[in-house]
Structure 1
Amino acid sequence: MANSVGVDGYIHIEGFEKFEREAFDKKKIRAAMRKVGKLVRQKAQMNVGLARGQDSYPVNRSGALQDSINFKLSRSGFLVKVAPYLTSAMGKEFYPAYLHFGVRQGNALKPLAAGAGRGKSNRRARGERSKHVAARKANGWRIEPRANYMSDALQDAGSDVRAILSRAFADALG
């Protein structure tokens, strides 16, 4: 597992910018992108499954997060996106977002009751909103943000991804 600090979740393969997309055999590119998507997906699933909460990764309790990690190939075939997707096992709440961004302690700011504010528009007193937001930030985390296991998977498999895609782009030109 790699260090999550400052990891970029994007890889660019250099040397093929001067060619138009039509110059490549799309079947070979799509096959390579699917292969790369599977590789990164497996690394990400392994990061979640084997970490058991270490390195500030999420704890794998039911396996729903691990099963939700999948890849999608773009229509053109020149892009693959590996991410956790909403599944029926998760219900309506997409909790990978809660794990990644975290949840602050305290209540969200709700609208004022009728007649509780100032004037016709029922507005809060000056500075009340900022006081509430500052108090909420000071409370800490209800769910702390977790490490980005997806970016770590891409970083761990980065050299293999570059090799596969470079070979595929070179073969697809011919």
Structure 2
Amino acid sequence: MSLSNSASLEGYLHVEGFDSFQRDAFDKRQIRAGMRKVGKLVTQRAQMNLALGKGQDGYPINRTGTTLESISFKVSRSGFLVRIAPRKTSAMAEFYPAYLHYGVKKGRRLGKLAPGKGVGKSNRRAAGVRAAAIAERAAGEWRIKPRDNYMADALQDSNSDVQGILKAAFAAALG
């Protein structure tokens, strides 16, 4: 079993030992049941991390419970994958868990130049001005500081339980 810590696959878990079998060899009902069980376990752990974190450990503060309620899981159609993540609900005007995870810098994004403010007929910025403005904004303050990933932490906290549940489900699905 491997748990990836790279930036793009921060919360990805792969159970090894069953790679040599074709998917048709498994009873999909058993696999889906195991995935649902894992999804529920990690969802509850993530909700607990968020509710009990209360702004500590770099987690966002739970004021209204909207983010807490938005955490859910979905088993893929094939049944060999479960996705656990906060989803946009009707109570959210914007999908703000993304703002909480990635953060927001102060200052506005660079837009088009006003007519006559640039150089030449095409009204372009001078060489290096755009890069300097982007670098200045990147070095500036955070309007919303990035928060820790409570979802990846929930998966890592329940890693041994998830591994046990999935190995049991895959073994039962082979028989």
What range is the shorter-chain TM-score in? over 0.9
Q: Given the two structures, how large is their TM-score scaled by the length of structure 2?
A: 0.93
Q: Which moved more, 1:6-15 or 1:70-79?
A: 6-15
Which residue of the partner structure matches residue 87 of structure 2? 85
Q: Deviations over 1:55-79 (max 9, x none)?
A: 0100000000000000111110000
Which residue of the partner structure matches residue 76 of structure 1? 78
Q: Deviations over 1:97-130 (max 9, x none)?
A: 0000001111110111122212232211111111
Letter in 1 for 2:24: E
Q: Given the two structures, how large is their TM-score scaled by the length of structure 1?
A: 0.93
Q: Is residue 2:113 matched to residue 1:108?
A: no
Corresponding residue SS for 1:90: coil
Corresponding residue SS for 2:13: coil
Letter in 2 for 1:15: G
C-alpha distance in 2, partners of 1:59/1:100? 12
Q: Is residue 2:69 matched to residue 1:62?
A: no
Letter in 2 for 1:26: K
Which residue of the partner structure matches residue 39 of structure 2? 37
C-alpha distance in 1, partners of 2:122/2:27? 62
Corresponding residue SS for 1:30: helix
Which residue of the partner structure matches residue 136 of structure 1? 137
Deviation at 1:6? 6.8
Deviation >3 Å, runs of 4+: 5-8
C-alpha distance in 2, partners of 1:153/1:75? 24
Which residue of the partner structure matches residue 16 of structure 1? 18
Which residue of the partner structure matches residue 120 of structure 1? 121
Letter in 2 for 1:9: G
**What is the root-mean-square deviation of aligned Cα atoms in Å?**
1.4
Q: Is residue 2:170 matched to residue 1:169?
A: yes
Matched residues, number: 169
Give ranges in structure 2 of 5+ residues lacking alignment: none
C-alpha distance in 2, partners of 1:170/1:107? 54
Deviation at 1:35? 0.6
Identity of aligned residues (%): 63
Q: Which moved more, 1:65-74 or 1:120-129?
A: 120-129
Which one has more relative contact order, counting CA pairs under 8 Å at least 6 apart? Answer: 1
Deviation at 1:138? 2.5
Corresponding residue SS for 2:14: coil
